[in-house]
Chain A
Amino acid sequence: DTGVSQNPRHKITKRGQNVTFRCDPISEHNRLYWYRQTLGQGPEFLTYFQNEAQLEKSRLLSDRFSAERPKGSFSTLEIQRTEQGDSAMYLCASAPTQPGELFFGEGSRLTVL
């Protein structure tokens, strides 16, 4: 499978716990994006990387959210001290440098109890 891969697909956690999601982009894509989608809404942009550089992070929802892409390949999105309002689908997408095609993974669904 050469598409965007996300793990885990579903995470159930208790309020206050930390969670981490991983995204493996399409191998030749150097741009990687994180979005959040709540029920009945369109995806909402969170942050993006070009190679290992995080070029936009002002839309991360709070300082409890952080993302890394240490070697310019896979990326992780961490949510610390989860709250029930963090329950959502977290989507990763990748793209080549030039604008155009942007491909999404299947998403990681977070449920905070």
Chain B
Amino acid sequence: GEDVEQSLFLSVREGDSSVINCTYTDSSSTYLYWYKQEPGAGLQLLTYIFSNMDMKQDQRLTVLLNKKDKHLSLRIADTQTGDSAIYFCAGNNAGNMLTFGGGTRLMVKP
């Protein structure tokens, strides 16, 4: 089955850019996702990218996909304290069942 890996922790200063990285193993994933989870809450879909795209930009969020290296990243521009949360990447398979990474905890310091 698919394996999705993320670094555990990232700390940035308010106003800086954050880059959260993810690697996956299943090259047949057609969609790759980024979700945000705040304490005690469910998962909020931030953005997703189709596997034939290299980049997707949505306001402060930029997703980069390197399909050859099976590497996905999420860049958050002008990071705010409200961006502090756990960020999960995920890849899909047949039936759109998602396999999630373990999450990256983003801490934004004022």
Contact = CB atoms under 8 A, between A and B. Distances in A.
Interface string B24-48: 0000001101010000011111001
Nearest to B92: A99
A105 interface: yes
Given A43-B88, A99-B30, A56 B95 contact: yes
Interface in B90-110: 90, 92, 95-103
A107 B42 contact: yes
Interface residues of A, number: 26
B97 A48 contact: yes
B100 A43 contact: yes
Contacts of A48: 95, 97
Contact of A105 (B42, B48, B99): B42
A100 B31 contact: yes
Contacts, number: 59
Contacts of A33: 97-98
A99 B31 contact: yes
Contacts of B88: 42-43
A45 B97 contact: yes
B96 A56 contact: no
Given A41-B103, A43-B43, A100-B96, 11 more contacts: A40-B103, A42-B100, A43-B88, A43-B98, A43-B100, A45-B97, A56-B97, A91-B42, A93-B43, A104-B35, A104-B42
Interface of A: 4, 6, 31, 33, 40-45, 48, 50, 55-56, 91, 93, 95, 99-107
